[in-house]
Structure 1
Amino acid sequence: MYTSAPFFAVLFASSLLFAGLHRLLGNRLSYTSLFSFFALFAVWGYVFKSQIIVPILMFSYLYGIAICKDKSWLKTWQSVTLSLLPLILVKLHLNNHWGMIGLSFMTFRAVDVLLYRNKKDSRNFFQYFSYLFSPFIILAGPMYRWRSWVQDITQPNFRLTTAVFLQSMEQIFYGIVQKFLFAMLIDNLIISHWSHRPFTLTVGIVMSLAYSFYLYFDFAGYSNMAIGAGRLFGLNIPANFNLPILAKNPQDFWRRFHISLSEWLRDVVFMPIYMNLMKSDFFRNHKVTAQNIGIFCTLFCMGAWNGLELNYVVSGALFGGISVMHNMILWCAKRSQKITSWLNNPLISFAGRVLTLASAAVSLYIFSGMSPV
């Protein structure tokens, strides 16, 4: 969607028209209605023009679950499970008929509605529709939370000022450079040539570094374009990357890399697992064990939600295992002043940064499916 000049021409023209209509008709036509119309036109008319039946069925299915949850016909865990079911079947290749562009993040947004919305909000058909099918985040995020969405579209007015327009343009241009210059150069000059070579240690190192930088520039570029486009319409889509190359440790890395999904998984995977484990006497006396189980499951989901192919499962297990090891080091440091002093040594701190980035690069290389694993 962000790869064609006509899209950007329509985007800028639509944003100006959108802002004008909202200003002129604000007292008679709600911001939600205007944005719903744009979502219908941009997503269903552009993205899904060749497979319109599947998104219609998916929306009806998910909206029906939300209504049943509101009427207390379904418990929260039942509604979440039913919402995830189509995605799980597609990822397991048990029912590819439900497959559609953006299914994963649309499903996650539907789950976010079930967990964090007010009843009066979820019954608003247009709010729910335009949230699930927002054109800027439909393909690959960032993970735009329901509460932020409601806050944005219920603002009393939105004015596309010159400052907002220039900020949006700057972020979109920054994303274009990341995605279509840096990522494309890495792909064309390194990955396309090295990916077909027989695996050796040298190939593994080069491909780990090259794919990690490619993934960062490609995904960060897409995210910046989505954030900038959203700003043109008054939406505060969250930042998704914050220089992960500066990460001090695995925990810091996931605070900087795919931030929105990391935070969402923390809320919907780690916290429920940890809080339920803490109800047990054993885990109340062994909090670090409960933390490690929650950490591993959360980071495992970071890789495995893409599917149960070996590369996703192994990379997710590595994400989780590395983070658990780091958590155990922190746990030991709290109980030993000697270990704390050792970790604060500048050389050890620098080595930790290098090991963090190296382990992340290897995990992402496995995630790519181009490694021997």
Structure 2
Amino acid sequence: MTPYGSFSFFFILAILLAPTVILGLQGKRFHTYNMIVSVLVLAIIFSSKLTGFIALIIFTIWQVLLIQGYIRYRKKANSGLVFTLAVIASILPLMFSKFMPYFSPINWASFLGISYLTFKATQMIMETRDGLIKQNIPLHRLLYFILFFPTISSGPIDRYRRFDKDLKQELTGEDYKLLLYNGINKIFQGFLYKYIIGYSINHFFLANLRFIAANHFESQLYYMYGYSFYLFFDFAGYSAFAIGVSYIMGVKSPENFNLPFISRNMKDFWNRWHMSLSFWFRDYVYMRFVFWMTKKKWIKNRNITSNLGYVLLFLLMGFWHGLEIQYIVYGIYHALLMVCYNMFEQWNKKHKWWPQNKFTQVVSVLLTFHVVCFGFYIFSGHYIH
């Protein structure tokens, strides 16, 4: 069963989470019960695909051993080589799942949500290296974080320390009432975005573009804008479902979208679109690369270092989406956009060619919107067919 993919899924959730709501409104702790609910829901999600369920179990055991083992090691030593090997070992299952379809008809290493679970596990190893995670983590709490079912499929990607803080926070009945209210609002927002607006764009607009010749410029233009809005409402709707259910379970999962189509530039866009993913790549790829290059003093020019970081970040993001040509080109496209904007931003600080006023802000939003939509057109692969 696909998470949030049918009304029956929501009906099952309503039944399973009813005790959570009752306990929460009474100001009582409910995380132990929610852990049991997570196991039950995961069993329902993977009930139709045994190989995926087995892969999930093996993956979880592997990551738990890596995380717990590295936390114990970090208390005694801090070898860069051991850290690098631990990170590689953590992302190894994801790499297998990405490359295996090209060598085998059965991808036994893949399962629903492997990417987002890998991001959470790898992040814990990195934060342990940084000294942000110092103490051993109880097994049940680590498993709950990794396998937290509302966000398992497509995020948002949470951070362990923020997640753990929510679990430790004492909630009164009034506190939980506000969480419940916001959670229900999020779920209704998800229905509006995904099943009304997103569905309407896909069913009544994109599906009917076939009446125009496929190679017609007008058809491609319509598709570019239609697909961009569909992608946003579908994905933002899913994220709203995940966040809403998280709230009901007493966990304030991070937001994933913040009005991305009013972004004033590409940096602003990536601070608004799929925020948990873009912030993950920013913190654990870009910032580490820049810090490492600065520390080694291999490149003294900060702008060059920053631009190389953007290229690395978006190439990895493109390859993460898949090895198909459209995803790689999409990554290259955004890398070039970020490099160009970074160069323009630095140049404009000296020459003051582009002032900050209402007119330039409107022009910036319109320009960024069209540039972003063309990127989604590349991502869709529609032009290939």
TM-score by length of 1: 0.90
Distance 1:334 1:40, change over 3 A: same
73-82 or 57-66: bigger deviation: 73-82
* Structure 1: gaps (5+ residues): none
Q: In structure 1, what is the Cα distance between the partners aligned to 2:347 and 2:273?
A: 26
| Counterpart AA for 1:114 | I
Distance 1:23 1:200, change over 3 A: closer
Cα displacement string for residues 189-240 of structure 1 (whole angstroms, at most 9, x for unaligned residues) = 2222336942232222111111110000000011111111111111001111
How far has the Cα of 1:346 moved from its partner? Answer: 5.2
Distance 1:157 1:25, change over 3 A: closer
96-105 or 188-197: bigger deviation: 188-197
Find the counterpart in structure 2 of residue 76 from structure 1.
83
69-78 or 89-98: bigger deviation: 69-78
Residue among 5, 8, 23 paired with 1:6: 8
For the 8 Å contact 1:241–1:258, the answer to whether it is kept is yes
| Counterpart AA for 1:334 | K
For the 8 Å contact 1:32–1:126, the answer to whether it is kept is no
Q: In structure 1, what is the Cα distance between the partners aligned to 2:88 and 2:330?
A: 24
Distance 1:336 1:22, change over 3 A: closer
Q: In structure 2, what is the Cα distance between the partners aligned to 1:57 and 1:299?
A: 30
Counterparts of 1:69-108 in structure 2, within 5 Å, are 69-72=70-73, 75-93=82-100, 94=103, 96-108=107-119
Q: In structure 2, what is the Cα distance between the partners aligned to 1:48 and 1:98?
A: 14
* Structure 2: gaps (5+ residues): 75-80
Find the counterpart in structure 2 of residue 350 from structure 1.
362
Q: In structure 2, what is the Cα distance between the partners aligned to 1:198 and 1:3?
A: 30
Residue among 259, 271, 278 paired with 1:255: 271
Q: In structure 1, what is the Cα distance between the partners aligned to 2:375 and 2:118?
A: 25
How far has the Cα of 1:324 moved from its partner? Answer: 1.0
Counterparts of 1:183-198 in structure 2, within 5 Å, are 183-194=198-209, 197-198=213-214
Question: How much identity, in percent, do the aligned residues show?
Answer: 26
Residue among 182, 190, 204 paired with 1:175: 190
Partner secondary structure for residue 71 of structure 1: helix
Q: In structure 1, what is the Cα distance between the partners aligned to 2:258 and 2:201?
A: 20
Find the counterpart in structure 2 of residue 221 from structure 1.
237
Q: In structure 1, what is the Cα distance between the partners aligned to 2:62 and 2:149?
A: 20
Find the counterpart in structure 2 of residue 309 from structure 1.
324
For the 8 Å contact 1:220–1:241, the answer to whether it is kept is yes
Find the counterpart in structure 2 of residue 47 from structure 1.
45
How far has the Cα of 1:131 moved from its partner? Answer: 1.1
Cα displacement string for residues 17-69 of structure 1 (whole angstroms, at most 9, x for unaligned residues) = 1244578896xxx75533322211111x2111232211111111111111221
Find the counterpart in structure 2 of residue 128 from structure 1.
142
Partner secondary structure for residue 229 of structure 1: helix
Cα displacement string for residues 270-318 of structure 1 (whole angstroms, at most 9, x for unaligned residues) = 101101111244523x100011111222233333211111011000111
Distance 1:18 1:211, change over 3 A: same
For the 8 Å contact 2:187–2:245, the answer to whether it is kept is yes
Find the counterpart in structure 1 of residue 343 from structure 2.
328
72-81 or 350-359: bigger deviation: 72-81
Partner secondary structure for residue 279 of structure 1: helix
RMSD: 2.4
Partner secondary structure for residue 186 of structure 1: helix
Find the counterpart in structure 2 of residue 58 from structure 1.
59
Find the counterpart in structure 1 of residue 77 from structure 2.
none
> How many residues end up aligned between the 2 structures?
364
Residue among 283, 290, 297 paired with 1:267: 283
